[in-house]
Structures are given as C-alpha cells and as structure tokens.
A and B are shown apart, each in its own frame.
Chain A
Amino acid sequence: MRSASPPLTQPAVAIRGLTHRYGSQVVIDGLDLDVGSGEFVCLVGASGCGKTTLLHLIAELETPSAGVIGRSAGRTAVMFQENGLFPWLTASRNVELALEFSGVTSRRQRRTRARELLEVVRLGNALHKRPHELSGGMRQRVALARALAQEAELLLMDEPFGALDAMTRDLLHDELERVCAERELSVLFVTHNVREAARLGDRIVLLGSRPGRVIETFDVSIPRPRRIDSTEIATLAAHITDQLRQEVIRHGR
C-alpha cells in the first residue's frame, strides 16, 4: 500500500512558478506543484482553473509562457476523456502502434506485448475488436493499455472516466488503482468529481479559477482499499466541495 504523504525521493514532476497566457488572458498564474515518484495526485477545480492547460503543458503539447516544469528521466503518457483510439485499428493494433512509436521494432514482440498489456486491463478476449465494437468502459481500458505501452513513469489523465456511467467508473477506479500500484506509476489525475479524487488520490490539489493556482492541498490518509461510497470519502469530499464552492462564489461577486 502506498503511503499517504509524498515520498522523499526525487519527484516525477516538479513545477515551479508556472504561468501561461492565451493572448492577454492569464490562464495559470505562478503555479507550484510536485508529483512524487509513485504518487497519485488528483487535481480538482471548477471551470476556468486551467486543469487541461496544465496537463497539456506537462505533456509538452503546449509551451508555457513562463516557469519551469522539471521532469525525472522517464517518459510521459496521457489519457484523455475521449479515448482517442484509432477507429480503424483493433484493440491490439492500437496498442501495437504505441509500442512501435516507443521503439519496439520487432512486430512479433509488439504483438506479444500488446496481448500482455490488454490482459492487464482484463481485455484479453477483445484483442481483435475495433473500438466501435467495444463499450465506453472497454475503450478507456484499451486507452489505458495503450498509455502503459509507452513505458511511461508519469501518467497524465484528463478526466478519463468523465463520460462513463457510475458503475463502470467505480470498477475502473479499482482497475486503475491496481495497475498503478503494480507498476509504481506516478499519476496526475484531473477531475471535477471530488469523490473520485478522494477515492483515488494520495493527495488532492485544489485549484482556484481564473487564473489557475493552487489554493489548498489535502493529504488523503484514508486507507486502501477504499470504496467511493464510504463515509470517510463522503466526509472528505464534502469538505473539499465546500472549499470549491467558496472559490466559485468569489467569482460571482
């Protein structure tokens, strides 16, 4: 089981004084954030807190206006709310393609590896199905397998379960928790669902809106395995939700 406080080893990401502007609008303002090695950090915030922008900046999809994003040596994988699977490829071929871009040159090796990864997400019997033949939850698991194929140490997730029904989401929480623990992944998980954050995170970082900056950080000491419908999680979630509302109310004045 993971410890609730951030480990003392070198962090997977260390962000200092990050600022980002679109034209004259400041989206992120002087943000500091660490994700420890093997730590599961959840980012919550209301609209306009720059959550998605932050992930894009860490994933190097955009270049920050100012500040430093320090990464440990490992690779970074990203999962989005839309699964982003290539619709013309089977589940296995989707994973194989990621392996190809990660530098696995042997076709046979890629195929074996893809099968293993899909078995990790319990999709060993859907190898040859195309995305449109799979349910939303299954697609997100293929996307997770594909992210794992990148051999990343840091996994960035942008509301990956936002479009799923509650039952599927609960099950995927279990899956994600197991996979991340097994592989000692560092995770930065963006969500607007406070309970989800309390269910998954070692630490929850609350972002303020317009511009985005860290308001507060919560260490989650609830022991695992956790259930999203447990009282501890509900209590913590209620507390964070209150803070979030305060932040939203501030903008209405």
Chain B
Amino acid sequence: MDAEIITPSGEIPTTQVIPTTRVTPTTDEALAGLDALESTARARTSVGRRALTAAWPRLLALVIAVGAWQVLVWSGWKPEFLLPGPRTVGRALTDLVGDLDFWRALATTLRRALAGFGLALVIGGLLGILVSASSVLRRAIGSLITGLQTMPSIAWFPLAILLFQLTETAILFVVVLGAAPSIANGVISGVDNIPPILTKVSDVLGARGIRRYRTIIIPAALPSIIGGLKQGWAFAWRSLVAGELLVILADRPSLGARLQFAREFSDAPGLLALMIVFLVIGLFVDAAFGAVDRRVRRRHGLA
C-alpha cells in the first residue's frame, strides 16, 4: 500500500482523495456493534477453587492458634485443671455433643436469640423507617438511638430484673434493646445515602407511600440495612449470653447457664468446650450474613 502512495519522485502526497461514495452503516448495525464491544464478560472462578483459596489461610490460622494454646499449657503457666490442653477440651467437646441436655440447652439459647433478634428487627426496622422519613422525629430521637447503641447492654440487666424478675421477658428485653438501635441506625444511614438521582427518579415515576418504600427505598438502602442487621445480631448475641449467665431459670437449661455451672463446678474442660461452641455459632452466623451481604452487593453492582 505504502509504495502506491509515494510518488515516483519519492515525495509523500500532502492530500488524500476523499472517497465520493460514503459507506454509511445503519444505526442498528452500528449500535449492535458498539453494544457487543462494550459488554464485558465477567470471569468466573469455580466454587471449589474459591472455597480452597478461602479455606487454607483459615486452616493455617487455626493450627497456629491451637498450637500456641498447647504450648501455653505445656509451659505450666497455670495448672492443667484450670487451663486444660486442646486434647482434653476436645474430649469434653465430644462428650458435650453426645449429651442430649446440651442440645436442649442449645435449642433454648438459639430460640431466645432468634426471638430477640426477630423482635429487634421489627422494632428497629420500623423505628429506622419512621426516623428516616420524618425530620422532626430525627431531631427528637436520632442521636438517642446512636447513644443507646453505645450503651453496654449488660448495664440494662439490673433494671430488666427489677421490672420483669428472673424471667424470659427480662432476657428478651435486654436482647431487643441491644440489637434494635443498630438495626434502626442501619436503616437510617441506608436511606440517607440513597443517591439523590434515585429519589428524583422515583418522584418522576410517581412512586409514593408504602409502595415507594417497598419497591425503591428499602431495596436501595439494603446494603446498609444488612450491615445494621449484622451488627444488631452481634449485639443481640452478646446480650443474650450475658443475660443467660445472670438470669438462670430452673428446668430451662441454656448454654449460658451451663457455662455458669461449669465455672461453679470448676469444670474447666467443659467451660472451654462451651466457649468453642459459642465461637462456632458466631462464625456460622457471620458466614451467613457475609454470604447475604456479598449477594446483595453483587446485585447492586458494588462488588
């Protein structure tokens, strides 16, 4: 090609001839081409591979932690009947899993946690929606909600016991008080952070009232709401275990009560085994929230 353009004298021509017939592709063809060029295919890694990449650092950390624990026991820092080694605790854990009473206690604790969290979800969710919708309400109790969130929930127990005696209600009261402010705050900040363009569009579309909340506001605030729920759960779970140490009901075994008994009977292996149970439950719930969170963020195009 180049050779044809260069003239015999070796000069490069300064002007090129513009073709008289123009090739004009149709709009449709051009659009289809652009769409194809600009659509990106997302690379997907297999589930197995992802699980493996996620698992090995955790396994390694676990091995190191258990190893350090064993070393601490071997060092003789505390006598073994106070600080038993991993193997003794492992045996206690096996015993625990074979014990029907343990499962009954676990059921009680989980039922309380779910009831408290569920109620906190309803109360905190409604409160959050009301406060985010009304500027008067926000000025009135907005900072109070944040204040409540920082209050150590165990500080509520003396009052709860005065009000409701040693009952399920006392525990429920504190669990709800622990979790609801976080959930409400999650809703409020989620609604506050909705991009203005989306609220403008919902005005234009004529979205009003409950339907506006159901179809636009709540879904738009969902990533932040999930954050609030996660934090609310953490507070609920902590309040619950603290409450179960204090409010021990006869013929109603719970994990907290068992933990308290283990201390009273100096059953160190049993005590540590129960603590591992708490840890595992916490990890499971956290993983569940993490999965929901990732799913929502992907839907929203945030991840």
Whether chain B is bound by chain A comes out as yes
Which residues of A are in contact with B by a Cβ distance under 8 Å? 59, 61, 77-78, 80, 82, 84, 86-89, 97-98, 100-102, 122-123, 126, 130-135, 137-138, 150, 167-168, 171, 174-175, 178
User: Please, which residue of chain A has its CB at the minimum distance from the CB of B212?
Assistant: A101
Q: Provide the bound-state CA to CA distance between A35 and B241, in Å.
A: 68
Q: Provide the bound-state CA to CA distance between A202 and B183, in Å.
A: 54
Q: Which residues of B contact A61 (CB under 8 A)?
A: 200, 203-204
Cross-chain contact A138 with B35 (CB below 8 angstroms): yes
**Can you list 11 A-B contacts (CB < 8 A)?**
A59-B204, A77-B204, A84-B198, A86-B198, A88-B219, A89-B219, A97-B205, A97-B216, A137-B31, A171-B30, A178-B27
User: Please, which residue of chain A has its CB at the minimum distance from the CB of B204?
Assistant: A78
Cross-chain contact B220 with A88 (CB below 8 angstroms): yes
Contact partner of B34 (CB less than 8 A), chosen from A78, A171, A178, is: A171
Q: Which residues of B contact A130 (CB under 8 A)?
A: 299, 301
Q: Provide the bound-state CA to CA distance between A134 and B34, in Å.
A: 11
- Interface hits, B163-213 → A, CB 8 Å: 195, 197-198, 200-201, 203-207, 211
Cross-chain contact A100 with B215 (CB below 8 angstroms): yes
Contact partner of B215 (CB less than 8 A), chosen from A97, A123, A133, is: A97
Cross-chain contact A135 with B39 (CB below 8 angstroms): yes
B125 CB to nearest chain A CB (Å):
18
Cross-chain contact A134 with B39 (CB below 8 angstroms): yes
Cross-chain contact A87 with B300 (CB below 8 angstroms): yes
Q: Which residues of A contact B300 (CB under 8 A)?
A: 87-88, 132
Q: Which residues of B contact A167 (CB under 8 A)?
A: 30, 34
Q: Which residues of A contact B34 (CB under 8 A)?
A: 135, 137, 167-168, 171
Cross-chain contact A174 with B39 (CB below 8 angstroms): no
A231 CB to nearest chain B CB (Å):
14
Q: Which residues of B contact A138 (CB under 8 A)?
A: 35, 38-39
B interface residues, tally (CB under 8 Å): 31
Cross-chain contact B205 with A135 (CB below 8 angstroms): no
Q: Which residues of B contact A132 (CB under 8 A)?
A: 300-301
In the assembled complex, B28 has its CB within 8 A of some CB on chain A = yes
Q: Which residues of B contact A135 (CB under 8 A)?
A: 34-35, 38-39
Q: Provide the bound-state CA to CA distance between A191 and B220, in Å.
A: 29
Cross-chain contact A87 with B206 (CB below 8 angstroms): no
Q: Which residues of A contact B219 (CB under 8 A)?
A: 86, 88-89
Cross-chain contact B198 with A131 (CB below 8 angstroms): no
Q: Which residues of B contact A150 (CB under 8 A)?
A: 205
In the assembled complex, B222 has its CB within 8 A of some CB on chain A = yes
Query: 9 tightest CB-CB pairs across the interface, nearest first?
Result: A132-B301, A135-B38, A84-B201, A174-B27, A84-B197, A78-B204, A82-B197, A101-B205, A88-B299
User: Please, which residue of chain A has its CB at the minimum distance from the CB of B296?
Assistant: A88
B207 CB to nearest chain A CB (Å):
5
Contact partner of A101 (CB less than 8 A), chosen from B195, B198, B206, is: B206
Q: Provide the bound-state CA to CA distance between A126 and B42, in Å.
A: 15
Cross-chain contact A175 with B27 (CB below 8 angstroms): yes
Given contacts A80-B200, A130-B299, A135-B34, 6 further A-B pairs with CB under 8 A are A82-B197, A88-B222, A101-B205, A122-B28, A126-B35, A132-B300
Q: Provide the bound-state CA to CA distance between A102 and B220, in Å.
A: 20
Given contacts A84-B197, A86-B198, A88-B222, contact A98 B205 (CB under 8 A): yes
Q: Which residues of A contact B195 (CB under 8 A)?
A: 82
User: Please, which residue of chain A has its CB at the minimum distance from the CB of B40?
Assistant: A133
Q: Which residues of B contact A131 (CB under 8 A)?
A: 301
